[in-house]
Amino acid sequence: MGSTPTQVDTSSEEAKKTKHEESADFWSCPICMEMVYKPCVNSCGHVFCFWCMHRAMNTYEKSKCPCCRSEYSYFPWICEKLHEYLGLQFPKEYESRELVITEEEKDMDVMAPEVGAAGSSNGDIIAECFTCADPTCNAVLFRPTILNCGHMVCLDSCSIDSNGDPRKLCPACSAPIVGMPSLCHKVHDFLHAVVPEGQSQRAIAVKLIVDARRAAASAAGSSTSGQPGEEAVAESDVKSLDEDYLQRLNEMKKNFVHHGVGCDVCGMLPIVGQRFRCKTCSVFEKMGYDMCGSCMSSNPETCRGRFNQHHSPDHAMVEVETRPSLIHIFQAMNPGVPLSHLQDLLRMQYGPHDDDEDGNEVGEDFPDHFDVDVEVEVMEDIISADDGDDSGGEDRTVASSPGRPPVSPAVGGIRAQQPDLNTAHTHVPMFHRVPAWQPDSDAALEQTLDNDSTDAPRSDDDL
């Protein structure tokens, strides 16, 4: 009779394992509702398929998690250990998903990174697939976090250094840790259901490690808080939205956003600042190969393509020139307006257009890039003239680069022009700079101004 409670407990544990181990629904992607394939985990800890996450990211600005709406800017690498576990635990389902995704990739003519096959298990799948990647830990994960590089580590003890500060590099591969690591609730709940006793033991061990580090930090007396005059107000907190246009344009050049282009090393999407592109891969690879300025300066020989590109260290990397498009100008001039609102305004302003030379419907669906390039030097001259530079009525036509039409600021303000989307380098002003009425020509405007300046009384017929 004494064995009855033990049998009940065993069946209860087996029921928990059945629920989480043998049910593929537990590992369904929140976007496609199918089993996650080549799982990626964003900075807030939610798990998605590789392609589902890529399609859900915003190529213009920071992305928002489809589950919790938290902002993130980096496309993470595939979590290879979770990929291995799903292949071992659900071989038929995972193989079926692989066939479907492979067909989709053939249609798109792009591929996700190749990762190791599941292989075979020695018996303890949990120990094989859910061990902390930190070599100094090497125990089953407790409160796991999945870093941008795809490695799983213990959040409380292994994502911070011995001083209690957040680590800057992955303890397994030394890749930069971007963003603030968060608990991966999916893996956390799974481990608590499958190995509850092991998680209880790990909780005690991790608590001892954390307490020891806190005691050491307290004994070191490294606190610097409370010192007057040491705290500085961030420059961005005191900048006014009414800063002059020239400063905004200079900031746009410094923090230029390369819409639709991500870094193949760290996953930043879109790339902000310097962008370097491989000359060889841009010819032979559909996705090309790009690096941000930070990755190029720290490790230019990295060859880890996020879309299975065949990049090698002997390929030449060249810096891409920053060429502001129409959406860049609108965003720089209207920093307080959400980008999605600016895109809607652009659609309303210019309306639908005919198909371009490639047969694409330009107006119905706002493209990633307009074929409208505005040089910052031209904008600087226009802005300085519009800010009160009295040239005595002389012609202020701005000379453009060879092969480009000159840009002439209109008298009394910048003239709004209907852009020809098939012609590059057309100047289009900002929305809040557009006058309510536009004359047909400069001569018509000058004639109107002359008429308004006369003191002769108007007749009833004139009115």
How do residues 251-273 score in pLDDT, each as one tens digit?
A: 676 788 888 888 988 889 899 98
Residue 290 is which amino acid? D
The residue ranking higher by pLDDT, 272 or 248, is 272
Indicate the pLDDT class of residue 121, thresholds 50, 70 and 90: low
Q: Which of 162, 146, 166 is nearest to 154 (CA)?
A: 146
Classify burial at 277, counting beta carbons within 10 Å of its beta carbon; exposed 0-12, middle 13-18, buried 19 or more: middle
Lowest mean pLDDT among 80-94, 222-236, 310-324, 404-418: 404-418
Average the pLDDT over 443-459 and give the result: 50
Lowest mean pLDDT among 101-110, 365-374, 423-432: 423-432
Q: Residues, the chain, total?
A: 463
- Phi then psi for 410, rounded to 5 degrees? -75, 155
Residue 458: what pLDDT?
A: 47
* Residue 211 predicted with pLDDT over 60: yes
Give the chain's domains with CATH numbers. Answer: 9-213 (3.30.40.10), 245-319 (no CATH), 326-353+361-445 (no CATH)
How is residue 188 written in tokens? 């956390």
Q: Encode pLDDT of 353-390 as tens digits.
A: 444 444 444 444 444 443 333 444 544 454 454 455 44
pTM for this entry: 0.64
The pLDDT mean for the chain works out to: 72
Indicate the pLDDT class of residue 170, thresholds 50, 70 and 90: very high
Cα 178 from Cα 197, distance rounded (Å): 33
3-state class of 389 per DSSP? coil
